Structure 1
Amino acid sequence: MNLSVQRTFSASGLCATSRREPPHAQLFRTAVHARCSNYPQNTQPSNLERREILIGVLFTPVLAATSLVTPLPATAAADIDLPKGYLDTARSLVIALRDAVDTDLSGAPEREVRRKADPAKDLVRQFMTRWKDVPLVRDDVSYTQLTGAIKELGEFYMKNGQRSRLPENVGQVLLARLEAAENALPPETEKKSIFPF
């Protein structure tokens, strides 16, 4: 997508939550919000192909960010000392995405799926903007599985439309990735009290 299209998208105000979006699409919108806000606001949006522009801008940065997943070797979490901030975000993201996918697969109403997906929006943004360029984590299994899940979600919605519900086979692949990411993370250490009771 060329720069003029991205500027048009930014000027239209679609970086903000100004129109109703399906639950999972919100997750990926947040991942590119910071980039969208950096473009000048001196152009007017086109009324043509608004949906195509939205989908393209929404998912292209996510797919680009996760393109490094395939060629990199995976490393077990136990082999390296992962940053605590990464571990906290990754664990929370696994839980939030799993809740959203499980709810979608259950056939729940869209408002319920949206409610379950809301907690993951900030986590997706934090994960993709804070950790995608950190060599210490990008080779880890948990990282490759989480970014792989985000990439597959993005590709699904680009192909099928933003309001599509996840089919069972896609949902199970995502859940398997999330489980693999969770298993690769080291167990949380129990906080010990300084008191003897």
Structure 2
Amino acid sequence: MVGMNPHRTWKEIIAADPEHSRRYANRWRGFVRQGRDINGEARLVDAMAPRHARILDAGCGQGRVGAYLAAAGHKVVGVDVDPYLIEEAGRLYSGELYDATTWLVGDLADLSEVLAEAGQSEPFDFIVCPGNVLTFVADEDRQAVLEGFAAALSQDGGRALIGFGAGRGWDFSDFEDVAIAAGLRVVQKFSTWDLSPFADESQFLVAVLERD
């Protein structure tokens, strides 16, 4: 979920413009046709996660990250609030290669309930939340989303990888404070998905978190 007004939630955006989701999906298809690299986040997750890990793609959109990870042998559950994008994920990524992949419509603020209703209550080895997803969450739901991540992570070495840009309504230091309140701690910070060091002036945060 990139390139949109950071001060509106994704639900507000698609309610105001029902065709937005289709344009968003088409934009990513255009990136692929242009030969742009759209798999940087997924490659990093694949490098960090154990083999055949159970991975939650939080805010999965049309499945670009989760599908890459499924093809690499991981068991993926993708959750997104946008029904059209989940439909696209199921259409694009079906067949034997993606048999271990599940795509769910649901609000990340209600993650525990969404997973329980789908019979997906087993803990995750890894959670990835890329693409500025968290900046499209309502302010009042931020802690609930991170609490859901903490509850979903395995207590045995589970980690989350979250990335979003500056100037999108959520200060990086405030994010860390909310994460702590939610039962998570930031153990590493980078400024890009290819692990450039994070500095005070960095315009993007890629944070590795563990359960507190």
TM-score interval, normalised by the smaller of the two chains = under 0.3
Structure with the larger RCO, 1 or 2 (CA within 8 Å, 6+ apart): 1
Instruction: Calculate the TM-score normalised by the size of structure 2.
Output: 0.21
In proportion to residue count, which structure has more helix? 1
Instruction: Calculate the TM-score normalised by the size of structure 1.
Output: 0.22
Which has the greater radius of gyration?
1
In proportion to residue count, which structure has more strand? 2
